[in-house]
Structure 1
């Protein structure tokens, strides 16, 4: 049996393969691009393409594709074979540097938010050499960026790479001020924890709502759900264990560092967590992970649900984005140091993050805004829609001491003036974790917990990188011109703490009193829905910051706003239409059939003996008849609301929020009541109990 270390990364054209198959000069040039983010030397492309093709063909590949991440939220690929005709009538296997560097997929059918007209089809994919090529099936997949004929980014990777470079530029300026002149590159790193549900294919196929929308639109909680907390970290069922074993095998062969697996809180819910990777690689890997999770599930007769809220009243699924900043020497800039200067540097980067999250809390909320995640946020299973930062008691006390100028009353009780007197060594993991916080410091990283399970992690990391780059730029501009660096540093950290302490909250984020305090006393934002927050992407402060760092152009931001609002409207419209269809074509007829069966029973009782009690059946008939009429009426009202959608996409999103969602809830309420009093054999769909406990 092959050991993991023998086959890990066997489908990846990684550093080991490149070193063995490329000429020394080519390898050195490409490695410099990968490690430092320098511009690729076009002269190496043909040599890399030839080696990449030979390696892929030796692994059984027959095709190649430029693998990219359009604004659909999933990945895209167009396959071309390696074959070229030979003079003798046969074929040879060819792949050129030109084909490696650039592809030309049709761009007209991908979302562009007005950047492209439908008839303007030309688009380009461009090789991202910082993310390794890999083999999927019999196809060599080359990670690429995707842009339009006019150069506008039509994907999520391009702005992500831009944001990483923006943060790198500003972080290097700060590090030089601290005497770190040998650092050549600063990267952000991410480890996304992925939650998901596993149900049987049989149950899935019987639910039109799951098939069309990814979530159940009707259904009452089962008698037993997650109340006993017996699923969380419980023994993994044999069928799930077999699935996880094959999933790990597939991921490891692709060089994805799958590390942790366990049962989550809800029945049928699980989690997979990887080891950290550079942000753009982690983003590629997470997209691949979601794809492979669903593919492997199908082989086991299962379906992997990635919707943020597939079951009402049951915990939804999130994706915790663990984010840190590191140098090319492997130094974590969010890790407390051993010396006063190192700790001063740590506190400056910490303050940069605090300032960024406070100044651009709207952007962070926008990055997790989807119709599905709106159901999850603030539902006592996920952080609220209000963004705040958890630092823990000890670090919070350190910051308060700096702000007030009072001695820090920790273990060493030391007066702190950064870089002048000794700052006490700050130990990691000196405080509990806060699972209710949207943005929590966990020792040497921040955990952004608002993402939904199906979200691409690219979006939140684009905004986080960009906002922190802006903070660092402001700091660098001030410190580079300061007469006394240490005094200016101390005052700047002190001012940041004073100006942005409202965003810091170490308490219970689920408490209604916190939401009131956050919005009424602290002035924090509370955008409950996608329709509420998405238009703020185009607020002038956001446009100015993102364009100044070259992460987006104004046109690219306008396109994203339109695409996300349009996606919101389409998602809810599909859900509403599905509800109307299910209610009219299956639920109402099922309730009516059961009603008629009860009436037959009443008639038979009376025929046998007029004195027999039929009060139970009569009461049910009356309630079911009322519910049938209500189902029909509320289905009509919902259909009318959908038909009335008009105007701009922003106006439509507001109508979805204000009219359609409420009518969907009203229709669900009467149908769910009908489910609880209709005999099981008449109900057309598997219940929550059937679905959540179907995998044994």
Structure 2
């Protein structure tokens, strides 16, 4: 029988039944019903106002200020007719979370009555506190002014609570001096920079009518569900989002029996509730399944324009967390909540395209004949090779450091996987003669009743951090708790830079009278010769690759965030973002300061939690049990028995290690050096190893102390009892 607190938690869990929810109506009835869509705008707005808004959304350009009042009135009438009394400017500060400033539609009148009011000025601009969010020194405490500004390209929506609805308006968030304090502003800038350079290249290739080029994103979200009855007994889960202690259970994921297995009933009811809410919000959730680790699951949406997809990704995380509570779960978005089993990522599937040209990263059936694709894909190859360390830095967090390089995640070395077909095509270009490309063929299964189907021309590589998967690239190193905006900003910007370089080279060659075909081939040949080192199709986990990548190919292996985040301070990275108008040097430095501080704070919170749990929960339970055990040994000896003291001595040894390691960890916490880079290095190289040593002592005790006396819910309970 476990300890009384654990026993009570286990009893409450075993008595739980799936939370009753209303059956989900037909998709057609609920889809985007809580979103102020273009269709709703068209019905509510005068024709000229609607065309103006539609033109801004689809073609870019400045918003016509004269239509703001008309849109605000229509938006308010739609929201209040549904029962909304408040509106909120929703923005995305540098916390990876969503922020909201709520204001009422109420406008008191002089006669004592009240009406609802919402003007174009209130729609377009809000004013939250600019110094109370992470800003990296851009705003001092006494400099509080900040602005939110309406992002017309991302639709407003209604967010329900049990007591009503709030109209949520996606916005950017900037300081009084104009610097971006959020995730959305740089994303919109990066997309504009990429569009400008993509259109340059498309025009050089002879295209006349070119619609705006946009990046797209489909982010696969992995997460864990733990019964919330455990939360009060696990301060580490409550405050750090991961377990700092926990001996591995006898059975983990080694049987591969959880992945794609039957979804537990209680979990499936939760998933269906999540999907119902997301469909009402216009979020195209497409896939749900068990992931590899016990207690781990995944949700994935259909691809959308990157800006909207980013907003929807934040909504997915919000809805997962809030709905989990309703169903008696806690949703863990930490990258590595449990040691010894797979962690959680957020694979970002990324491509670019336009309404006039479709997906520009679609190779077609004969990629060797598709010069447009080869140039755009070649630009990605060049960008990832030149700025691979930047891609590593934008996924650098304390949580993701535990995950990268493990069995479910790519290594910290950034390389590109193209697949055998495309790798062969680019090798032919490198060698100076493009002959053709292999086809996938047909899959024949040897059973007449089973269908034949086309086989892809290349396999997939789960160890690659940046893999081509048919018509897009999958950036697999992004952490599950991160906003996808940072990685998208980096990918869009490095692509813009490489497209600019490609266009410059083509313009120079075409200006000299060279035909477009030979000019394009020459540019591609230069890319493959100078940047082909980043292409790798083998095992990214192997020690041979790690050695070869660094020694022979010149790729960096930035193992920790302490190694990776200083990349943001490199002159070439600063110049990259400034050159394309995505982040000024001040804005980039502020992000470095924010992310460095977040890394340090995360590890120091975990270190303090480790000390507290070890000293106030584990050690008292261990000494009490050791006292009982010593008394039992004395009683046995008193009646003439000769019991073994081995277990008691082993427990006493681990208990002493616990005391020694807590003292060492406490001393290290108090001796942090000044300066962000030195402080991060102290966390990575001193605090984390000491926390690991303390964990080894505590986990050793868990495997020896009577289960009745152990105070913490175990991995076996948290991962398998739900």
Q: Same fold (TM over 0.5)?
A: yes
CA contact (8 A) 1:191 1:322 kept: yes
SS at the partner of 1:536?
helix
Taking the aligned partners of 1:135 and 1:533, their CA distance within structure 2 comes to 39
2:521 corresponds to 1:490: yes
**Number of matched residues?**
678
Tell me which residue corresponds to 1:692. Answer: 719
The structure-2 alpha-carbon separation of the partners of 1:340 and 1:244, relative to structure 1 and needing over 3 Å to count, comes to closer
User: What are the equivalent positions in structure 2 for 1:612-651 lying under 5 Å apart?
Assistant: 612-615=641-644, 618-651=645-678
Taking the aligned partners of 2:494 and 2:507, their CA distance within structure 1 comes to 20
Taking the aligned partners of 1:65 and 1:409, their CA distance within structure 2 comes to 55
Tell me which residue corresponds to 1:476. Answer: 503
The structure-2 alpha-carbon separation of the partners of 1:411 and 1:371, relative to structure 1 and needing over 3 Å to count, comes to closer
2:328 corresponds to 1:301: yes
Taking the aligned partners of 1:252 and 1:342, their CA distance within structure 2 comes to 40
CA contact (8 A) 2:352 2:359 kept: yes
Taking the aligned partners of 1:340 and 1:297, their CA distance within structure 2 comes to 45
List runs of 5+ in structure 2 lacking aligned partners: 1-22, 440-453
Tell me which residue corresponds to 1:569. Answer: 600
Tell me which residue corresponds to 1:45. Answer: 68
| CA drift at 1:605 | 1.2
CA contact (8 A) 1:201 1:302 kept: yes
List runs of 5+ in structure 1 lacking aligned partners: 413-426
SS at the partner of 1:677?
coil
CA contact (8 A) 2:91 2:173 kept: yes
Taking the aligned partners of 2:721 and 2:356, their CA distance within structure 1 comes to 49
Give a deviation string over 1:131-158, Cα, whole Å, max 9, x none.
0001112111100000001000000100
Picking from 393, 410, 419, the partner of 2:420 is: 393
The structure-2 alpha-carbon separation of the partners of 1:428 and 1:650, relative to structure 1 and needing over 3 Å to count, comes to farther
SS at the partner of 2:370?
helix
Taking the aligned partners of 2:309 and 2:353, their CA distance within structure 1 comes to 15
| CA drift at 1:613 | 2.9
Give a deviation string over 1:169-208, Cα, whole Å, max 9, x none.
0000011112222113000000000000011011222101
Taking the aligned partners of 1:108 and 1:244, their CA distance within structure 2 comes to 38
Taking the aligned partners of 1:169 and 1:580, their CA distance within structure 2 comes to 53
2:619 corresponds to 1:591: no
| CA drift at 1:409 | 6.0
| CA drift at 1:428 | 8.7
| CA drift at 1:328 | 2.6
The structure-2 alpha-carbon separation of the partners of 1:410 and 1:560, relative to structure 1 and needing over 3 Å to count, comes to closer
| CA drift at 1:67 | 0.1
Tell me which residue corresponds to 1:679. Answer: 706
Taking the aligned partners of 1:375 and 1:101, their CA distance within structure 2 comes to 41
CA contact (8 A) 2:234 2:712 kept: yes
Give a deviation string over 1:250-287, Cα, whole Å, max 9, x none.
10000000000000000000000000010010000001
Tell me which residue corresponds to 1:423. Answer: none
Tell me which residue corresponds to 1:133. Answer: 156
TM-score w.r.t. length of structure 2: 0.92
Taking the aligned partners of 2:82 and 2:475, their CA distance within structure 1 comes to 39
The structure-2 alpha-carbon separation of the partners of 1:212 and 1:339, relative to structure 1 and needing over 3 Å to count, comes to closer
The CA RMSD over aligned residues, in Å, is 1.5
CA contact (8 A) 2:367 2:374 kept: no
The structure-2 alpha-carbon separation of the partners of 1:395 and 1:38, relative to structure 1 and needing over 3 Å to count, comes to same
CA contact (8 A) 1:336 1:342 kept: no
User: What are the equivalent positions in structure 2 for 1:135-284 lying under 5 Å apart?
Assistant: 135-137=158-160, 138-284=165-311
CA contact (8 A) 2:421 2:438 kept: no
Tell me which residue corresponds to 2:6. Answer: none
Give a deviation string over 1:386-428, Cα, whole Å, max 9, x none.
000000111111111111124536459xxxxxxxxxxxxxx99
Tell me which residue corresponds to 2:3. Answer: none
| CA drift at 1:629 | 1.4
Taking the aligned partners of 1:340 and 1:583, their CA distance within structure 2 comes to 59
2:311 corresponds to 1:288: no
Tell me which residue corresponds to 2:549. Answer: 518
| CA drift at 1:341 | 9.9
Taking the aligned partners of 1:573 and 1:512, their CA distance within structure 2 comes to 31
The structure-2 alpha-carbon separation of the partners of 1:502 and 1:674, relative to structure 1 and needing over 3 Å to count, comes to same
CA contact (8 A) 1:189 1:324 kept: yes
TM-score w.r.t. length of structure 1: 0.96
Taking the aligned partners of 2:553 and 2:174, their CA distance within structure 1 comes to 41
| CA drift at 1:339 | 8.2
Tell me which residue corresponds to 1:453. Answer: 480
Tell me which residue corresponds to 1:422. Answer: none
Say which is worse superposed, 547-556 or 649-658, in terms of deviation: 649-658
Taking the aligned partners of 2:199 and 2:367, their CA distance within structure 1 comes to 20
Tell me which residue corresponds to 2:581. Answer: 550
Taking the aligned partners of 2:660 and 2:133, their CA distance within structure 1 comes to 38
Tell me which residue corresponds to 1:417. Answer: none
Say which is worse superposed, 277-286 or 79-88, in terms of deviation: 79-88
